[in-house]
Amino acid sequence: MNNNIKCPKCNSDNVQTEGVLHLCLDCGYKWEDAPQTDLGEMIIYQSDDGVKLDVRLENKTVWLNQDQIASLFNKSKSTIVEHISNIFKEGELDEKVVVRKFRITTQHGAMAGKTQSKEVKFYNLDVIISVGYRVKSIQGTRFRQWATERLNEYIVKGFTMDDERLKNLGGGNYWKELLDRIRDIRSSEKVLYRQVLDIYATSVDYDPRTEASKLFFKIVQNKLHYAAHGHTAAEVIYERADADQPFMGLTTFEGELPAIKDIKIAKNYLKENELKILNNLVSGYFDFAEIMAMEHRPVYMMDYVKQLDTILQSTGRPLLKGSGSISHEEAMDKAIAEYRKYQVKVLTPVEEAYLESINALGKIAKRKGRQSGENH
């Protein structure tokens, strides 16, 4: 019970409060206080090194009302209202998702010392961004310049980052998420192969004309996989590819259903904990290998393999001896055979849509047939 808060509907002080949520126990009216937001939570400005956008997030978003958005982009409230209305009319955003009503308290205009409360619509970051792409003002132009630069970097490089924000946060969940994603990328087969070749190229006995680079990759890949989950890459594919399992035993894949390219990648069969261990082992090994390369010491290819064994042993992980019990060819044959059986059991989205359209046409034909019979 909170005696300092009165119900805006019946003026009762019999109010139950939890955080910013309030419930009047007399009339049943519910309301939510407005978030403590001001324009300081989102600023667009021009600096010496380009356009900057500073945002202080509250629960991963920003809530601004129409007046605040108008001030942010230096436009009239009526213009902002028109843009927001068009955003919803065009289906760009779902109003139910991006708009919340908060009750705010302000000074009474007619009576000094009195306050009044009313419900006001607040809009989240998605709406603010959409408005920023539509308004014609200096602030709107600066926002689009900033957004275009970020988008250009993303399209060209595949990523965009706010370095200063990450540094100033001193860690936190976003920093950890970034590290996890980088580790996951580093352990993908294409990136892993590229990194192994880069390391191999720094060794004294490097010869791009031999098949040794492929062999070196298989050695490193299998040792890392074995240390993470006790199987080589070929073994995990051979043992876990199963047409009777959901998604053929895969834990990750592109699209709605596994494709032929997905079933050939060992990493796609790993459980979450196994994947995290593999990602961390890969990251640790290549960080160490990069240090060796930077020191320009004469290193042979097998020196890198020995160092990998040393690192894995120091972490207490199992060490692979030999090349494993399953060959790459055996693993591929098994995976493809299971995939063929899996395809028979599971329809693709295209096939499902095709069958649905056939069934729909059949129903229409039957309906027309009945109508034709009735007319005769």
Same domain membership, residue 276 and residue 290:
yes
Cβ neighbors of 206 (< 8 A, separation 6 or more) are 200, 301
Residues 331 and 368 in one domain: no
Mean pLDDT of the chain: 81
Domain of 352 in residue numbering reads as: 346-376
Residues 103 and 244 in one domain: no
Please state whether beta strands 15-18 and 115-123 pair in parallel, antiparallel, or not at all (unpaired). unpaired
Residue type, 301: M
* Residue 83: inside a domain: yes
User: What is the model's pLDDT at position 254?
Assistant: 85
Which residues, 6 or more positions from 2, have their beta carbon under 8 angstroms from its beta carbon? Answer: 13, 15, 16, 17, 22
**Confidence (pLDDT) at 60:** 67
Is residue 148 domain-shared with residue 240, that is, in the same domain?
no
Helices in the chain by DSSP H: which ranges?
Answer: 66-73, 77-89, 95-98, 125-132, 138-157, 163-169, 172-186, 189-201, 212-229, 233-240, 272-294, 301-314, 328-345, 349-375
pLDDT score, position 230: 95
Q: DSSP 3-state assignment of 44? A: strand
φ and ψ at 73, to 5 degrees? Answer: -100, 5
**Same-domain check for residues 104 and 236:** no
Q: Are residues 339 and 354 in the same domain?
A: no
In a shared domain, residues 195 and 118: no
The contacts of residue 276 (CB under 8 Å, 6+ apart) are 180
Residues 357 and 256 in one domain: no
pLDDT at 89: 96
CB 268 within 8 A of CB 184: no
Distance, CA of 43 to CA of 55 (rounded, Å): 7
pLDDT, residue 40, reads 40
Q: What is the model's pLDDT at position 331?
A: 96
143 and 192 in one domain? no
Question: Cβ(152)–Cβ(124) under 8 Å?
Answer: no
Q: Please tell me the predicted confidence (pLDDT) of residue 169.
A: 63
What's the DSSP call for residue 58? B
Q: What are phi and psi of 120, to 5 degrees?
A: -130, 140
Would 153 be classed as within a structural domain? yes
Handedness of CA 309, 313, 316, 321 (dihedral sign): positive
Closest CA to 39 of 59, 20, 76, 67: 67
- Expressed in angstroms, the distance from the first to the final Cα of the chain is 75
Assigned domain for 316 exists: yes
Both 244 and 361 in one domain: the answer is no
Task: Give the DSSP per-residue string, 116-146.
Answer: EEEEEEEE-HHHHHHHHTT--SHHHHHHHHH
When divided into structural domains, the chain yields a total of 3
> Which of 73, 65, 43, 68 shows the shortest CA–CA distance to 55?
43
The tokens describing 218, both together, are: 């298989």
Q: What's the angle, vertex CA 143, arms to CA 141 and CA 144, rounded to 5? A: 65
Residue 47 phi, psi (nearest 5): -120, 180
Q: Does any domain span residue 10?
A: no
- Phi, psi for 116 (deg, rounded to 5): -135, 150
Same domain, 289 and 323: yes
Ramachandran category for residue 171: left, alpha or beta (phi over 0 → left; psi -120 to 50 → alpha): left
List, for the chain, all residue ranges whose pLDDT scores fall below the cut of 70. 1-4, 19-20, 33-42, 44-51, 53, 55-60, 105-116, 169-172, 175, 208, 347-352, 354-355, 362-376
CB 116 within 8 A of CB 106: yes
Where b means 16+ CB within 10 Å and e means fewer, 138-158 reads ebbebbbebeeeeeeeeeeee
For residues 152 and 46, membership in a common domain is answered with yes
Does residue 164 sit within a domain?
A: no
Contacts of 180 (CB under 8 A, 6+ apart): 276, 279
The SS3 assignment for 309 reads: helix
**What's the CA gap between 46 and 374, in Å, rounded?**
75
